[in-house]
Amino acid sequence: MSGLHTYETADIRGLESALKQLHGYCGELQAHASGATGAVSAQWSGIANNEFVNTVQTWQVGATILTSFAEYLATWAGDAATQYETAQSSTGSMWGGGGGAGGGGGSTAV
């Protein structure tokens, strides 16, 4: 039964890692969008330029929101995994096992 808890913790750590990658990717999107706006504005004018800039600004706002949420969720997942690991260790110590085996392991909330 304790192996199940190890995998659950690994899954949470995997989620944390994936969210950190998403955070980095969204930052790259923001940088590319900013660069594209400058390059196009130097070449285009009028309605085409305005529409492109407005569209890129929409993308930038979306990327900013995704970046912020990804950072928040990555932090949350990391904290949840740490708390779970601490509870698992405490439960294992209490029951004389390797973490999570025994009566308290299944009720640890994440």
Could you write out the three-class secondary structure of 37-88? HHHHHHHCCHHHHHHHHHHHHHHHHHHHHHHHHHHHHHHHHHHHHHHHHHHH
- The verdict on residue 105 lying in a domain is no
- The verdict on residue 32 lying in a domain is yes
- The verdict on residue 42 lying in a domain is yes
Q: How far apart are CA 24 and CA 17, in angstroms?
A: 11
| Distances in whole angstroms, Cα of residue 103 to Cα of each of 15, 94, 106 | 27, 10, 7
- The verdict on residue 26 lying in a domain is yes
**Residue 81 belongs to a domain with what CATH number?**
1.10.287
Residue-range definition of the domain harbouring residue 60:
2-90
Task: Please give the structure tokens belonging to residue 75.
Answer: 């932090």
pLDDT, averaged per 10 consecutive residues of the chain (110 residues), comes to 63 91 88 79 84 86 88 92 87 68 44
Cβ neighbours around 34 below 10 Å, total: 13
pTM: 0.61
